[in-house]
Amino acid sequence: MAALHPYIRFLGSLPQFEIDHHAGTAVELRSGVVVAKYEGEKPHHRHCLALTWPGQAADRPVLVSATKYVPLQVGEAIKLGAPRAELLEASRHIFVEAGEWH
């Protein structure tokens, strides 16, 4: 099993995601998009996610900023009925935790 990056672990806690522990990714259940932590070498890659949709070549992911994607998914989780206060509190800490991940 792959070690789960804090972003992936957090996304997997949201109702619209499921974690693939073997791959170390999160799957968005409505669209099938696979979310992985992008491990690039540039400083901004520290907060970068790689998204791959069904049918898309796995070696050509779309790179997105976790600082945009995670809050968007928190908003979606709240719309789905997840506890707002708990999610907002947890999401405040995830960026610090992810920045310290080695």
Alpha-helical (H) ranges within the chain are: 6-12, 66-79, 84-99
Q: In the prediction, which pLDDT does 46 show?
A: 80
Confidence at residue 1, expressed as pLDDT on a 0 to 100 scale: 67
Higher pLDDT pick, 97 / 5? 5
pLDDT tens, residue by residue, 40-83:
888 778 889 999 999 999 899 999 999 999 999 999 999 999 99
- Using the predicted structure, report yes or no on whether residue 29 has a pLDDT greater than 50: yes
pLDDT of residue 19: 97
Q: What is the pLDDT of residue 5?
A: 93
The distance in angstroms from the start CA to the end CA of the chain is 17
How many angstroms separate the CA atoms of 62 and 75, rounded?
A: 21
- Cβ atoms within 10 Å, residue 14: 22
Q: Residue 54 corresponds to which amino acid? A: P
Give, for 52, the enclosing helix (H) or strand (E). strand 48-52
